[in-house]
Amino acid sequence: MCLCATVARFRGPVVALGVLLAFVPASLAQQSSGWKRVAGTTVDQGLASAASGPVAALWYAPGTRSLLARTLSGRVFETADFNQWKLSSAGPGIEIQISSTSSRTYALGLDNVLASDDGGRNWINLTAFNGRSIIGGGFTALALAPGKSQEIVVANRFGVWRSLDGGLTWRGLNDTLPNLAVRKLTGNRSAVLSDGSLVAVDAGIWTPVAGTDPDRELAAQYGFPVIARTGSIAYASSADGRLLTSRNDGQNWIPSPRVAGIERIDRIWIDETRPETALAAAGSRLLRTVNGGLFWDDVTGPLPATEIHGVTGDSSAGVVYVATERGVLSARFSLNDAGPGAARWTLVSGELPAAPAWDVRLNADNSLTVALDGYGVFETAAPHQTRRIRVVNAADMSDRAAAPGSLITVLGANVTAARAAGALYPILAASARTSQLQVPFDTAPGVWSLALDTADTRWTVPLAVKDAAPAIFVDSDGTPLILDASSGLVLDPNVAVHAAATLQLMVTGLGKVVPEWPAGVAAPAENPPAVKAAVTAFLDGTPVKILRATLAPGYVGYYVVELQVPAIVNRGASELRLVVNGEESNRVRLYLEPDLATR
């Protein structure tokens, strides 16, 4: 019996060849959560006030009360109210080590600020307490407020500090100074400062923690300047830019063929889910290996000429992020095969201050974290995750595995080509946000990398395949697609199913058929191929007689299971499910009505 007319009357959306286009949840629509700063730009160092990073110079603008500070990055910031700093276009300024008034002379020692009231014959330590400076050490600059003998500001490796009483008390001017010296991210809430010390967020503020830069420790352990490791696999670089690989935790190293023009490697990223894949930042170039270091290819593409400081990626989505002198940029290309590299790069940190990015990290919670020179650490939902595609079962929109011949739905992408393990997956329907594919009938069980091409990018997602993965087609509200075999009409959910009725269930995922049938081709109207595996059905746990299980005539990827309702049933809602090769389908509800003769 041809199902063309009857399936078209089903309440769910139906397209050519009877393929159900799945409803795309609103949560999959593109969103922008925006960047948010992580824990500000100061560190609780146990000093008189919160600290920031090193400041190279301090001075007062001539003829004004505005104080200017130059950070190690070379940027100059200005404050007129000693609360808020703003970026300034002033010149570099003058570093002053000694400043005098008619009655007092101030000077910088190595770790303290000093004052003399007798022309330098005797000195008073203004910052020492219990053997340490209350505002930290490493002083670099000193400035005296014009006409104010008691107002002094100093700079050191912990920021800017001000005293209004000749050094008796001190207050930091660091809360709004963009000078957090983060150079590397070790987590979305932990980082390495420029001096190699570690900080982590504690109660909403950056706080020092024990230990040193883990990358430095790893490099010292193995004797390489740059190294990255996951499990027993490690990648390293020699001082002259030669890349090496170890598969036994550093016991033996195998050098890779040298990449022309590469003289140094700055950072290495390993794909923890697939260690055969790694990326290496080499100055302004990006290298990739997909075969465990047997060779590296240049995937830089049209990246603007800029130093790459950090790199991270998501191989399942085919996306890479790099932290550069121009901010954070992203590109899409495969990390699982040696295909072409970046076709274009997109700036993803455009909403952030214009400053070099020192590191970028993708976190397990699908957030993206960025260390921006001076301005601190920021995070947002990873841009590629806001429109991340998802592959689901076409029948019930679940994450269940597929099977040979199954219909699968790709949410979030208009797929133009699909391939896994060298086999093409027929595309049955595609729209801006939803695509329908069929798994080839000769697909073997396993987990395969499914490459999905769209007009402008390629996605790579895992696809689990089993011998059978039965699923009954349901509407968006869970109403099953069931036909009355005698009339060929779709059963209305408000109409009860009578005892002894013969039903036809529209399902997918029943696996291989006999005789074999090609994917992407509608099943014949006469003698459609039969399901190879044994199909069983249960109504409220009681076995139900299966009359036949075949491909649905005239349709692609649909199977029809014809079954007989028992002659004696109880009135009311009942639960129906299929089982094939031990795999259960989704459970659907039928409303049963006993036969008049049995009442």
Rounded to the nearest angstrom, the gap between the alpha carbon of residue 472 and the centroid of all alpha carbons in its chain is 33
Over pLDDT 90: what percentage of the chain?
59
Q: Which of 284, 303, 387, 295 is nearest to 343 (CA)?
A: 303
Q: CA-CA distance, 104 to 276, in Å (whole number)? A: 67
Q: Residue 101: which pLDDT band, with cuts at 50, 70 and 90?
A: low
CB atoms within 10 A of CB 499: 20
Nearest Cα neighbor of 111 from 57, 58, 172, 154 is: 154
The CA distance from 159 to 50, in Å, is 9
Dmax (CA) for the chain in angstroms is 120
Instruction: Determine if the peptide bond prior to 515 is cis (ω within 30°).
Output: yes
Residue 411 confidence class, pLDDT cut points 50, 70, 90: confident
Spell out the CATH class of 182-379: mainly beta
* Alpha-carbon span 446 to 110, nearest angstrom: 65
Task: Write down the pTM of the prediction.
Answer: 0.61
Q: What is the pLDDT of residues 540-592, one digit of tens each?
A: 889 999 999 999 999 999 999 999 988 887 877 788 999 999 999 999 888 88
Encoding tokens for residue 492? 């209305």
For 361, the enclosing helix (H) or strand (E) is: strand 357-362
Q: What pLDDT is attached to residue 165?
A: 93
Instruction: Answer yes or no: is pLDDT of 530 > 90.
Output: yes
pLDDT at 128 over 70: yes
pLDDT in tens, 332-361: 998 988 888 999 999 999 889 999 999 999
Give me the amino acid identity at 52: S
Determine contact, residues 114/108, Cβ cutoff 8 Å. Answer: yes
225 against 593, higher pLDDT: 225
Ramachandran area for residue 119 (φ above 0: left; ψ -120 to 50: alpha; else beta): left
Q: Do domains 19-29+387-465 and 471-598 have the same CATH topology?
A: yes
Judged against a pLDDT cut of 50, whether residue 28 lies above it is answered with no
pLDDT at 316: 79
What is the CATH architecture of 471-598? Sandwich (2.60)
Distinct helix (H) and strand (E) counts, the chain: 2, 54
Give domain 19-29+387-465's CATH number out of 2.60.40.1120, 2.60.40.10, 2.40.33.10, 3.40.50.2300.
2.60.40.10
Which residues, including other chains, have CB under 8 Å from residue 46's CB and lie 6 or more apart?
A: none
Q: At 98, which helix (H) or strand (E)?
A: strand 98-100
CA distance 398 to 396: 5
Domain definitions of the chain by residue range:
19-29+387-465, 55-172, 182-379, 471-598
Q: Residue 293 and residue 296: Cα distance in Å, rounded?
A: 6
Q: Any bridge partners for residue 579, and if so which? A: 536, 584
Q: What is the pLDDT of residues 250-302, one digit of tens each?
A: 899 999 999 999 999 999 999 988 899 999 999 999 999 999 999 999 999 99
What are 210's two structure tokens?
A: 């024990």
Q: What is the distance in angstroms between the CA of the first residue and the CA of the last residue of the chain?
A: 33
pLDDT, position 495: 72
Pick the most confident of 6-15, 32-41, 141-150, 316-325: 316-325
**Coil vs helix vs strand at 16:** helix
